[in-house]
Amino acid sequence: MSKFSNVLKVMAGIAGVVLIGLLLGWLGSSGRHASAPPPVPVPAGEDTGDKPGFSPPPIASSRQPGEPITSENPATVAATPSGLITNWSDKLDEILTSNAEEADKAKQLLEMFPHLSEEAQVEVAGHLANLLPDKDYPALAKYLADPKMSEAVLDVLLGDALNRPNSVKLPLLLEVARQSDHPKAGEAKDILELFLEEDHGKNWDQWQTKLEQWLKDNPD
């Protein structure tokens, strides 16, 4: 009986240790679950950081369909470039004060010329009259022959043409005179009359023949 009693005591001790271990494990697990805070839901549209698969909702536009675009919606305003050089005065000073040859300066001014406002063209045309050599004059002469140029610009161009050799200016004046819609047609015809000492009215073929003969008799 004493041996059996000892065995029961040992078994009871082992069972007690197991029960105590199970109890401590259960208490530790319950404590960990109780201390963890519940997950916080993320509101719709809020940045979720680096979570994959997230895409923010589209931003709604305040402009209604069919509503005209105004400066109140700067992000949607479409720029309409005028094509004109706005800082032409600075570019002009840069060209004129450079160490380039006069012919090269004139070439740069000619490249600018069609992209300038009327005011700027008047200014640049005056410099071209001083810088552009006769051999390169046809590049500027085409503007004098253009009836769509402003009269203020044409005044400067015509003044420059009159200082060119006869073989350069007289054919150009005839081209201007024969355009009835050209603002300088009358002036050009009057100048031709002074040189040729003849008036052929609107018979432009006769003007051409007499001019060619005059230039042969009066070479530059």
Q: What is the pLDDT of residues 76-111, one digit of tens each?
A: 332 234 689 999 999 999 999 999 999 999 999 999
Q: Which residues contact 123 (CB under 8 A, 6 or more apart)?
A: 92
Position 184 confidence tier, pLDDT thresholds 50, 70, 90: very high
- Residue 11: is its pLDDT beyond 50? yes
pLDDT at 142 over 50: yes
Q: Are residues 173 and 154 in the same domain?
A: no
116 has pLDDT over 70: yes
pLDDT band at 41 (very low <50, low <70, confident <90, very high): low
Q: How many domains does the chain have?
A: 2
Question: In which band, very low, low, confident or very high, does the pLDDT at 31 lie, cut at 50, 70 and 90?
Answer: very low
Q: Say which range, 9-23, 33-47, 61-75, 144-158, has the weakest mean pLDDT.
A: 61-75
* 214 and 173 within one domain: yes
Q: In this structure, is residue 50 part of a structural domain? A: no
Whether residue 154 sits in one domain with residue 109: yes
- Is there a single domain that holds both residue 93 and residue 154? yes
Strands (E), 66-192: none
The verdict on 178 and 128 lying in the same domain is no
- Please tell me which residue, 171 or 28, carries the higher pLDDT value: 171
Mean pLDDT of the 46-50 span? 47
Checking if the pLDDT of 19 tops 70, the result is: no
pLDDT value at residue 82: 67
Burial of 185 (0-12, 13-18, 19+ CB in 10 A): middle
Higher pLDDT, 62 or 208: 208
Q: How many helices (H) and strands (E) does the chain have?
A: 9, 0
Please indicate, yes or no, whether residues 189 and 141 belong to a single structural domain of this protein. no
Indicate whether 153 and 171 sit together in one domain.
no
Q: Copy the structure tokens of residue 79.
A: 């720029």
Residues 205 and 151 in one domain: no
**Region 53-66 average pLDDT:** 44
**Residue 47 confidence (pLDDT) above 80:** no
- Are residue 125 and residue 155 in the same domain, yes or no? yes
Distance CA 89, CA 94 (A): 9
What is the tens place of the pLDDT at every residue in 155-165?
Answer: 999 999 999 99
Indicate whether 136 and 180 sit together in one domain: no
Residue 96 one-letter amino acid: L
Mean pLDDT of the chain: 77
Question: What per-residue confidence (pLDDT) applies to 74?
Answer: 32
Please say whether the beta carbons of 218 and 166 come within 8 A.
Answer: yes
Residues 93 and 160 in one domain: yes
Strand extents, DSSP E, the chain: none
- With a CB cutoff of 8 Å and minimum separation 6, the contacts of 176 are 144, 145, 182, 184, 185, 188
Range of the domain at 199: 167-220
- Domain end, chosen from 164, 190, 209, is at 164
